[in-house]
Structure formats: structure tokens, C-alpha cells
Chain A
Amino acid sequence: MRKAYIFLIPLTLFVVLSVFLYKGLYGDPRQLDSTVLNKPAPDFSLPDLMQPDLTYDPQIFKGQVTLMNVWGVWCVTCAVELPYLTELSQQGVRIIGLYYDQDTDPDFGIKSIPTIQKEVTAKLAQLGNPYEFNIFDVKRDYSLDLGVTGAPETFLIDKQGIIRMHHIGDINTRVWRNKIAPLYNELMAQ
């Protein structure tokens, strides 16, 4: 009896440790819990990328279900998902862009806006343009408020302007069908 007890302790420890480490093998450390979920989109006032005189604020989310896609022409994965996003927008999904540029780094001087506009126009002409419009996150402050770690990332925002999903990585058929579409359809029905 006593002997069994002594063998059982290391065995239990071993099993617990194995399960813990096994889970670690398949976990994606980049999928962090987003802190903005189920909260209204943080406040902002930022210009349109193509017409800098226009400014946007969170009112743009009111009344419509929106996918807000964080992207940039320098981001390879963003280029991969652009054709699929364009397909989605043709099916009637409202997609707006949150654009930020690496080279407008306040630490290293600022790339001129016409240059960025030219690059964006060329990229969208080549791969498709899913965006109703692009918000220009000039100093990347808004990305920081949203907890963005890189690009591409996508936020699903409901008709009340509340963030319902934060997806890190690209959107493709699989991700859309399995992860985003169910919630999207639910929000559309509200």
C-alpha cells in the first residue's frame, strides 16, 4: 500500500508535466488575448490616406458591421490576403483599411504623403481594392491603442462600434469560413 503511494506521486507529477508541455508544443504564442475585445473602439481622429483633409472618428463604425484591416504596402502577407479581401468586399462585406507606414517613423524622419499614396494606388490597382476608404494612422498611435503587434491584423466591429474580434494574421477562405463568418453573420442579423 505504502509502496504504491510512493510510486504514484512521481507518476502524477510526470503526467501533469507532460500534458503541460504537450499543450505548449501546439500553442501559438502569438495568439494573445486581446484587451480591446467587447469594448467600444478606442477614440481617434485621423485623416483619410488619399484625401488628408478628411478626418475620421469612431462615428464611422455606427450602423454597419465593419472589418477593419490593418495593413501596409511593405507587408508581404497583406499582399497575399488583398485578393481574397477584395472578393469579400464584392460580396458586400464592408472593409475599411487602417494604413500605417514603416517609413513614417518619427524616429527617422518622415516619408512624404504623396509617395505613400502613389505606392498604395499602385498596390491596390495590381491586387484589388477591398477598401471603402483607408484611415491613415500617421504616428501609429491608433494601432498602439488597439494592441496591434504587426500587420496584417483585422478587427470585426459591430453596428454599435464595439470590437467583437481581433484576428492576427491573414484572412483566407479557411479563416473566414471557420472563424470570422459565423460571428459576422450573427452581428449582421442583429
Chain B
Amino acid sequence: MKTLTTLICLLVLITSPVLALEEAYEFDDPSKQTLFIELTQELRCPQCQNQNIADSDAMIAHDLRRKVYELINQGKSRDEIVAFMKSRYGDFVSYKPPVTPLTIWLWLLPVIFVIAAAIFVFNQRKKQSNEFDEDVLAQADSLLEKEK
């Protein structure tokens, strides 16, 4: 039973969506094949906006896949292909946001938040321990004295 479950799990893992989408695109070079799979997953379909072009069945996604295939076979690099798409469909077409003065906050804000929170917590701690020391300790001591 356990082996059967393991086997089923393995089968499910192997049938990834990438393998389902091979279409007619074959490459002579395995590295080009990898690049094709990476790019079609990173590029976003301009029509069905929550899908990448590997996933989408919209005509535009078909066209973009074919274009990626053509460009890869022309020997274009990854950056060149992404630039080609961006020059036509804007930054929108890539799921990786570019670093601009506006988008830099996506990375900066969480860091600023963590640092600010750390400083806040640290300050609170310090204040608390300072207040604690003198008065409360004396009080506790006197209580202990009485108990004796």
C-alpha cells in the first residue's frame, strides 16, 4: 500500500504542466529547450492577464510562443528576447518587475518595516528592564523579608 501511494505521488510530480506543453516546438539543442520553457513561463499573456504564455490558450499566447521559438532559433539571448517583448507589450509582459524608482519600494518597504519593528521592540525592552530594576526589586525584597 505504501509503495503504491509513493508511486502515485511520484507520477503526479512527474506530470508537470511544462511537459504537457511541448506543442510542435522542438529544438536541436537542450539548452535552447530549457530557455524556451523558462521564457514561456516568465512571459505574461497580455490578454488573459493572470496566465503566463505557456499556460494560456489565447491566440496572442500562441503567437508569442511562436515568436519566442523563432527568436531562440535565431540565436537570440534570453535578455534580447525579453527586451523584444517589452518593447512591444511594455514591462507588463514580464512577471519579473524591473527595478525603477517606483518599484524599488517593493524590496525596500519590507526591509524598512523589519528594521523599524526591531528598533521599536528593542527600545521597549530597554525601557521596561530599566523601570523594573530599581523599584520593583526593592518591593520584592521587602516582601521576601516579611515572609521570613
Contacts and interface: CB of A to CB of B under 8 A. Distances in A.
B88 A107 contact: no
B142 interface: no
Nearest to A106: B66
B67 interface: yes
A175 B71 CA distance: 37
A150 to B, nearest CB: 5
Contacts of A143: 63
B62 A147 contact: no
A96 B8 CA distance: 57
A189 to B, nearest CB: 31
B90 A32 contact: yes
Interface in B78-132: 86-90, 92
Nearest to A147: B88
A35 interface: yes
Given A102-B59, A107-B66, A32 B88 contact: no
Nearest to A29: B49
Interface string A139-164: 01001111111100000000000000
B90 A144 contact: no
Main secondary structure of the interface of B (DSSP, over half): helix
A35 B89 contact: yes
B147 interface: no
Contact of A150 (B47, B86, B87): B47
A186 interface: no
Measured as residues with beta carbon below 8 angstroms from the partner, the interface class of chain B is: 10 to 19
A140 to B, nearest CB: 5
A146 B90 CA distance: 11
Given A29-B49, A107-B23, A147 B90 contact: yes
B97 to A, nearest CB: 15
Interface string B51-84: 0000000111011101100000000000000000
Contacts of A36: 88
Interface of A: 29-30, 32-36, 102, 105-107, 140, 143-150
Interface of B: 23-24, 46-47, 49, 58-60, 62-64, 66-67, 86-90, 92
18 contacts: A32-B46, A32-B89, A32-B92, A33-B90, A34-B90, A35-B86, A35-B87, A105-B59, A106-B66, A107-B23, A143-B63, A144-B64, A144-B67, A145-B88, A147-B90, A148-B60, A149-B46, A150-B60
